[in-house]
Amino acid sequence: MVTKKQFLTKLNASLKRLPSSERQDILQDMEEYFEIGIEEGKTEEQISASLGSPHQIAKELAAAYRVEKVGETATASNILRAVWAVIGLGFFNLVIVLGPFVALAGFIIAGWIVSVSFVASPILVLINVSIHPQIFEPFDLFFSIGLAGLGLFIAIGMFFATRAITNGFVRYLKYNVGLVKGGMKHVQY
Amino acid sequence: MNVQFKKGVLELCVLVLLNKKDRYGYELVQKISEQIDISEGSAYPLLRRLTKEGYFTTYLKESTEGPPRKYYQLTDSGKSYLHDLLQEWEEFTNGVNQLIKEGVNGD
């Protein structure tokens, strides 16, 4: 049996990573819910039992918040936080979110590494020449300049691919937040 | 009933309830839980999400008893979203009903 105060304290503690304005707003909503319930003659314990686990509610609120943040600014750290929060919703999400995330992140990282190392290849040839001038082959230099050109094209492609993949993945996260694990009855805490 | 299934329907229920008139959170949740067995707390993340997506706006209104209440109001984009969801729902239930009918009649 959980009283109003206990419920709100637990909810607040589970939301500690959210900004305080957001948290205050949420707690106010729940407080209003308790107050109206009490006016209608319910006990605090009945109300908190019908609300379910504050921990689960907090998880869903946090996931929704993180995904919303990514929608505003898709920085790498925002994306990681959102992925983490959505995964936290349940085992199902671990499978359907982490898998695609690792695959897409791997693709993006590999693509950028390839393009950067291609672009840098003439510099590597020059460094090599300065260390071992006796083994200089003009072919190496021409070939590496060609590679650098190719690397630039790959970089341009990766720029658009990264943007498209990020947008698509953010939409996928949003869809997940809406889809999975809500309305869990009988959750113990 | 299946948890995932309910959550999808919850969104539709909230939108339908707000289509008729503005309501406050407690009222919305009670209306739904009279019909469907949900964990009442899960409605709040949903309400916040739909508000942030621009489907609702909220305002505070004094109540005759106790503190002011937060009312939810459907926006135009909320109305068109509701329209889309309703259409999907009808197609879906028609399909399922058709299959049930065929299944029960035993062909």
pLDDT tens string A79-122: 888 888 888 777 777 888 888 999 999 999 999 999 999 999 99
pLDDT tens string A19-53: 888 899 899 999 999 999 998 899 999 999 988 88
Question: What distance lies between CA B6 and its chain's CA centroid?
Answer: 10
d(CA A79, CA A5): 34
Q: Inform me whether the C-beta atom of residue A170 falls under 8 Å from chain B C-beta atoms.
A: no
**pLDDT category, A186, cuts 50, 70, 90?**
very low
A90-116 as b/e, with b when 16 or more CB fall inside 10 Å? eeebeebbeeebeebbeeeeebbeebe
Q: Which two tokens mark A78?
A: 């925002």
Residue from the list A35, A57, A183 with its beta carbon closest to the beta carbon of B3: A183
- Confirm or reject CATH 1.10.10.10 for domain B3-105, answering yes or no: yes
Residue from the list A56, A177, A182 with its beta carbon closest to the beta carbon of B10: A182
The lowest-confidence range among A65-69, A132-136, A144-148, B46-50 is A132-136
d(CA A100, CA A95): 9
Please judge whether A68 and B69 are an interchain contact, meaning their C-beta atoms are less than 8 angstroms apart: no
Please judge whether B6 and A54 are an interchain contact, meaning their C-beta atoms are less than 8 angstroms apart: no
Please judge whether A36 and B6 are an interchain contact, meaning their C-beta atoms are less than 8 angstroms apart: no
Closest listed residue to residue A33, CA positions, set B28, B77, B49: B28
Would the pLDDT of B6 be above 80?
Answer: no
